[in-house]
């Protein structure tokens, strides 16, 4: 078990006052819909430039990996980008989803981040069932050793908040 405190809030991840925000990105890193588009809009041109520099340096970001860029105009200092897997009934991709959370925490440690806000990775347009997404997220963050003091899950819908609350209560 990690010493990281896990908290849940219902709200907008782009307005969180944390050291780093985790972005559910696509592999090209230059914005899309959902969380990714909202974070890019909130970060403005400075974040767009930082993402472009990151993309130029690393190329595409594979599913399950993490990389950071400047957050631009957001309250956070950093955006840690992860690419979650697309849900597929016939293939268990849960290890890739868990890797997103683990790798984000490793990047947070490298950046000396103490507070980080996570979305429900892959649970939007990528179709991951919310209950399973919550279980994987909570169990992985709770089980990953990290210097992060607080891992805050910022959940956009009542369903997400409910499922993450259930998953957290089952852990304790």
Buried b (16+ CB within 10 A) or exposed e, 135-147: bbbbbbbbebebe
| DSSP three-state, residue 59 | coil
In whole angstroms, how far apart are CA 165 and each of 30, 78, 103, 130, 169?
Answer: 31, 26, 23, 12, 6
In whole angstroms, how far apart are CA 163 and each of 28, 111, 121, 147?
Answer: 30, 30, 13, 26
For residue 135, list its beta bridge partners. none
Half-sphere exposure of 74 (CA within 13 A, CB side): 31
Token pair of 127 as six digits: 């179709």
- Which member of 3, 12, 19, 36 is catalytic? 36
Residue 36 falls in the annotated catalytic set = yes
- d(C-alpha 74, C-alpha 78), whole Å: 9
The residues annotated as belonging to the active site are: 36
């Amino acid at each position: 078990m990690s010493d990281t405190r896990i908290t849940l809030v219902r709200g907008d991840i782009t307005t969180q006052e944390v050291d780093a925000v985790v972005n559910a990105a696509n592999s090209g890193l230059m914005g899309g819909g959902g969380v990714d588009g909202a974070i890019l809009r909130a970060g403005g041109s400075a974040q767009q430039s930082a993402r472009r520099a990151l993309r130029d340096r690393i190329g595409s970001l594979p599913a399950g990996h993490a990389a950071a860029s400047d957050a631009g105009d957001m309250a956070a200092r950093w955006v840690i980008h992860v690419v979650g897997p697309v849900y597929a009934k016939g293939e268990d991709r849960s290890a890739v989803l868990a890797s997103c959370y683990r790798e984000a925490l490793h990047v947070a440690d490298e950046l000396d981040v103490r507070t980080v806000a996570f979305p429900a990775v892959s649970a939007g347009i990528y179709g991951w069932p919310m209950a399973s997404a919550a279980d994987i997220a909570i169990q992985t963050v709770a089980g990953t050793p990290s210097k992060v003091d607080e891992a805050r899950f910022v959940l956009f819908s009542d369903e997400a908040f409910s499922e993450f609350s259930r998953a957290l209560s089952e852990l304790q």
